[in-house]
Amino acid sequence: MPIKWSAVKVNEAMDMVEEFVDQAAEPLEQAKLVAQEARKIKNLPEYLGQRVYRIIDQLNRMEYIKEAIEAVRKDIPDRAIEAERERAKHGATAALM
C-alpha cells in the first residue's frame, strides 16, 4: 500500500534538522565547558551549583536529539524514498478507473 505522505520531504527535513543541530554542536559544547567551570567557582552556594549542573545535564542531551533524528529516518518505510523518487522521475500517471 503506497504511503500518502512524502517520504522524500520527511527525509529532506531530517537532513536540514541534522545540519542545524551540527551547526549548534560546537557552541553548545563551549557553553557546557563554561558551565562546568562555573561550578568550580569558589564558595558557590550549593543551590546555584545544582542549577548550573542542570544546565550541564541539558547540554549533555544533545545526543538524544541526534538519536531522535535517526529514529525518524528509521521509521520511513523501506524503499519509500527510492520509490517516490522513481515515480517523480517518470511523472505522475492518472489512475485507470
Give CA–CA dist 18/24, Å, rounded: 10
Which residue is it, cell 528509521? Answer: 74
Span 24-40, pLDDT tens digits: 999 999 999 999 999 99
Span 48-86, pLDDT tens digits: 999 999 999 999 988 899 999 999 999 999 888 888 888
pTM: 0.73
Nearby residues of 76 by Cβ (< 8 Å), 6 or more positions away: 7, 10, 11
Q: Which of 52, 20, 49, 47 has its CA nearest to residue 33?
A: 52
As a residue count, the chain comes to 97
Domain ranges of the chain: 7-86
Contact 72, 2 (CB under 8 A): no
Which residue is it, cell 563554561? Answer: 34
